[in-house]
Amino acid sequence: MDLACLRSYPFPSFSPDPWFPTHRGQDVVVDISFETSPKSSALQWLAPEQTSGRRHPFLFSQCQAHHCRAVLPCQDTPSVKLTYYAEVDKIKSPVQLDLSCTEALQILLVHVQACMCVLDHSRNVFSRTQLVSVPNELVALMSAKRDGDKPDPEDSTRKIYRFSQPVPVPCYLIALVVGALESREIGPRTLVWAEKELVEKSAYEFAETETMLKIAEDLAGPYVWGHYDLLVLPPSFPYGGMENPCLTFVTPTLLAGDRSLSSVSGYSSGETEGLETGMVDLLCLALQGSLGPVIAHEISHSWTGNLVTNKTWEHFWLNEGHTVYLERRIGGRLFGEQFRQFQALGGWRELQNTINTLGGTNPLTNLIPNLKEVDPDVAYSSVPYEKGSALLLHLEQLLGGPDIFIGFLRAYIQQFAYKSIMTDDWKNFLYSYFKDKVDVLDTVDWNAWLNTPGMPPVKPQYDMTLSNACVALSQRWIKANESDLSSFNSADIEQMSSHQLIEFLALLLLENPLPLNHVRRMQEVYNFNAVNNFEIRFRWLRLCIQAKWEDAIPLALKMATEQGRMKFTRPLFKDLYKFDQSRDQAVSAFQQHQARMHPVTAMLVARDLEVAGQTA
């Protein structure tokens, strides 16, 4: 970028002659007036009836992968990192964004001073001329350190909030939320935020977050972000979690709703004997599929993704593969190596499922895909997560085991902290760190792992101890004839954890659809329709729809529309669309709920249902 001249384009509010001379070494401050659109792809504006409290509107942002440009003018690429200061307030002049660039940093955006103003629900835009400050009954939060709040000098019923983020972040990690939120302290550096109706349940569910933070620090190095808060969003949030610095966003689908995650049902006394009560609760939370994977994953992003970042979205696996690997190391430290291996094997099954869906020759299943003219949101899948973590596990096993490889991971983070990198940077450092094992590294088929579609060329070795029961039961159902169905009963799953039930259903989904009578019998003996765990319910309903069980259509439509987590919503809609008896119902349900979906979710589901561009 050459600063010989600066031009206002694409911001036409500047003077008619936007060119002015500059010289090398000169500091330039640019004031930009801007406002968003009600259709901003980064923002979801919720009416009161879409919230738990049903009294106040709600706003949240989701800028990954390239939607920050739909909120504010920025260099919206992960190759550029910036610090920022923000105020949410009431000012009559237009919103200003001060950009300070220095040639010493190769003209990268290194500081943003933004004063943002919300919440005008009637217009759904950012605009200083029309907006008001935050009413006292609402709270504003950002992906930054809270820098205090003060009464609006022009209106005592409103507040001004200040935030600062001194650690450089890519624009996709800028986040904002405004709603009727309350907080509870659940650790020395952690508050959990949620609407009043969910805050106590959220505090209980995530009470052991500090334990995971400490383990992550021991594995990966110091936590540099100050506080680590959690925010439970309304159901339309499209992801399980989002690693916004200082303020992880999480889906309410992680909340059990009946505190069942604190029980030890499904485990024999021998499996929990000798564990302290708190550790038993934490073990059950992890094994039930809630606290463990998602929160450990988002915590891990504090190092892999937020601190060391992929330079372009083609190298997204650097963020997600390393994060999944570290997440499972946290699980292994808490619950043992068998648990880590079980999670990793489940990830391999998920990768198989994804590649079966996308196609084994689909170039988007490359670990490093070519995204020229491809929207990163469209390319999003489990591939960078699970193929990337499988590569790291394979390398761990080749290079000497977990203790050896975690030393590399810690050194990698230290080497590239605060930077954005590509796969060649990672690979060169890998060879440098293991300079005495170059011959071992040279045995890796790098082209097959990185640049070839489909499943990886090598399957890591997995401990099958916790998986054996899942495999055995799934094979019984797959091989069963009609006359064998009476042999199944509720005792089959009494000793299985929720994670094992998830694995059991996932194994069935990898096979051809079960006969309809098999699925009906499964409901009779296991009563999966009564299970509230979203991970189990999701896989069960997919199994039912793929078996063409019409009784399951209303249940699948309900799950696809009552929450917006794309992991659940898109596959359910796809399965319903493939089933002749539910195709029209799926399209109709989508069109009825489209306006209440997150913009990215609605766009992708419309493509899945082949109704993109149509209106209800």
Active-site residues: which are they? Answer: 298, 385
* Pairing mode of beta strands 241-242, 247-250: antiparallel
Residues in contact with 430: Cβ distance below 8 Å, sequence separation at least 6, in sequence order: 395, 408, 412, 441
Query: Is the Cα torsion angle 268, 326, 176, 230 positive or negative in sign?
Result: positive
Judged by phi (left if over 0) then psi (alpha if -120 to 50, else beta), residue 454 lies in: left
Residue 332 structure tokens = 């292994």
Closest CA to 177 of 352, 46, 342, 267: 46
Q: What's the first-to-final CA gap in the chain, in angstroms? A: 45
Residue 34, Cβ density class (10 Å: 0-12 exposed, 13-18 middle, ≥19 buried): middle
Residue 319: other Cβ atoms inside 10 A = 23
Give the whole-angstrom CA distance, residue 382 versus residue 394. Answer: 18
* Residue listed under structure tokens 């079966």: 356
DSSP of 264-282: -TTS-HHHHTT--HHHHHH
Residue 415: other Cβ atoms inside 10 A = 15
User: Which residues lie across from 436 on neighbouring strands?
Assistant: none
The distance of Cα 114 from the centroid of its chain, to the nearest Å, equals 26
For 253, the 3-state DSSP assignment is helix
Residues in contact with 174: Cβ distance below 8 Å, sequence separation at least 6, in sequence order: 61, 63, 68, 71, 72, 74, 84, 142, 143
Question: ∠ at Cα 75 (72, 80), nearest 5°?
Answer: 130
Q: At what angle do helices 534-546 and 553-562 cross, to 10 degrees?
A: 140
* Residue listed under structure tokens 């708190």: 278
Residues in contact with 93: Cβ distance below 8 Å, sequence separation at least 6, in sequence order: 128, 129
Closest CA to 548 of 508, 567, 528, 520: 520
Give the whole-angstrom CA distance, residue 260 versus residue 269. Answer: 17
Give the whole-angstrom CA distance, residue 80 versus residue 78. Answer: 5
Residue 596 structure tokens = 């209440």
Give the whole-angstrom CA distance, residue 100 versus residue 104. Answer: 12
Give residue 565's identity as a one-letter amino acid code: R
Give the whole-angstrom CA distance, residue 84 versus residue 170. Answer: 11
In 282-404 the beta strands, taken as DSSP E runs, fall at 308-310
Residue 330: other Cβ atoms inside 10 A = 27
* Residue listed under structure tokens 């384009």: 9
